[in-house]
């Protein structure tokens, strides 16, 4: 139990056996990684945007029905693939800085794919994709010119 002593013109003072302990010093946080500024190409009005880093999506890039859906029953031209435009280069940022949070660069690129475009991709589906990519019969060179609509049509035409 604490005892208080009050004198004239004074607030109550606590006479506790234990005095408050000083706060521990704040721990140092690592400096955040430097961002590479990204500037868009000027539009027909000469307007452009500057972002602290390359945006993860371009809302106008997939403005057609085919661009926002992937139903096998839809026919049409595939949306133009996203293009990555490098930002201002920075000598302070290395591949290790960009991929350092991941096991390796391939894992980082798979995660980038997972978080780009549609939000309909699940973690389970990403793991499933990685299983296919690890299959010995998978050849990266076979993906040159790959087109989902063409391959789906070939399946539909099977007897």
Of residues 62 and 142, which shows the higher confidence score?
A: 142
Mean pLDDT over residues 23-51, rounded? 80
Q: Are 37 and 50 in contact (CB under 8 A)?
A: yes
Over residues 49-76, the pLDDT tens digits come to 888 877 777 666 656 666 666 666 665 5
Using only C-alpha atoms, what is the Rg of the chain? Answer: 29
Residues 6+ apart with CB under 8 A from 113: 126, 129
Of residues 103 and 2, which shows the higher confidence score?
A: 103
pLDDT given for residue 154 in this prediction: 81
| Per-domain residue ranges of the chain | 33-81+92-156
Sign of CA dihedral 62, 63, 64, 70: positive
pLDDT given for residue 97 in this prediction: 65
pLDDT given for residue 53 in this prediction: 78
- What global pTM score does this model have? 0.34
Mean pLDDT over residues 80-94, rounded? 53
Q: Output the average pLDDT for the chain.
A: 71
The DSSP result for 47-60, as a single string, is ---EESS--S--GG
The DSSP result for 106-154, as a single string, is HHHHHHHHHTSS-S---HHHHHHHHHHHHSTT--GGGGTT--HHHHHHH
């Amino acid at each position: 139990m604490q005892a208080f002593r009050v004198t004239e013109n004074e607030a109550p003072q606590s006479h506790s056996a234990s005095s408050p302990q000083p706060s521990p010093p704040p721990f140092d946080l690592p400096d955040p990684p430097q961002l590479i500024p990204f500037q868009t190409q000027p539009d027909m009005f000469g307007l452009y945007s500057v972002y602290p880093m390359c945006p993860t999506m371009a809302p106008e890039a997939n403005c057609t029905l085919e661009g926002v859906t992937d139903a096998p029953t839809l026919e049409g031209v595939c949306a133009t693939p996203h293009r990555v435009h490098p930002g201002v280069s920075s000598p302070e940022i290395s591949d290790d800085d960009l991929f350092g949070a991941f096991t390796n660069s391939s894992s980082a690129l798979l995660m980038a794919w997972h978080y780009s475009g549609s939000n309909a991709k699940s973690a389970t589906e990403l793991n499933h994709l990685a299983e296919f990519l690890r299959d010995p019969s998978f050849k990266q060179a076979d993906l040159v010119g790959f087109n989902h609509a063409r391959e789906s049509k070939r399946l539909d035409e099977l007897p």
